[in-house]
Amino acid sequence: MDNKLDKLTACPDCDLLVEQVEIVSNQQAHCPRCNATLYQGKSNSVTKTLVVSGSGLLMVIPAYTLPIMEMKILGLSNSTSVLGTIPIMLDASLWLSGLGVLLFAIVFPILILGLSFWISMHLSLKMYPPNLKMLQRFFQSLTHWAMPEVYLLGILISYIKLQDDFQLTADIGMVSFILLMFCSLLVTMTVSRQHFWEAIRRDATARIS
């Protein structure tokens, strides 16, 4: 019975149990009832995830600590980093906005990159610690919450509105943050959930036997 259940997958839209089939790269499996995408084949997904998440982690410190934009007016200039905006919001009694930036633009993206790097590294080394299954579930739940692109969109809107009154210059922190955002979005596309759960199942079966 357990072996039969391991070969089934539930449709995310209509909850229909469908037997898994092997697919190759660039192929997709669809639900026969509602045509929702069940899973898709990805070539070298572990290696791609490891590279993308590692690159994103390298951008964490410069993206959050270096100035993102310099503002000049009447010979005076000022600049701040992503982390520097949080105390400013808190001092202005914008607690909700400051908390939103802290969680959705900083904490969640870092967790997503860190978890994906940790998981893909263990998969590439064929190491399956007991907590890997829990970490994968946590990773999948976090992918719906990280929104660094929303913070970046706010920066771009501010840049457009303020450029008539101030002299604005994008700093290295802006470039690092864009790269970090790109990596955090790309890593959710390179991760193959089916490959991970199949690896966990094979490891569990090997331990039992």
User: For residue 156, what are the domain limits?
Assistant: 44-191
Low-confidence residues in the chain, pLDDT < 70: 1-7, 22-27, 39-43, 75-76, 78, 146-149, 151, 166-168, 192-209
Residue 198: the pLDDT is 67
Q: 138 lies in a domain?
A: yes
HSE-CB at 202 with a 13 A cutoff on CA atoms is 10
Give the per-residue SS3 of 65-107. Answer: HCCCEEEEECCEEEEECHHHHHHHHHHCCCHHHHHHHHHHHHH
Amino acid at 85: T
Q: 118 lies in a domain?
A: yes
Residue 2: the pLDDT is 46
pTM: 0.71
Q: 62 lies in a domain?
A: yes
Give the distance from CA 100 to its chain's centroid.
Answer: 16
Residue with tokens 């970490």: 135
Give the closest residue to 6 by CA, choosing from 131, 17, 124, 193. Answer: 17
Q: How many domains does the chain have?
A: 1
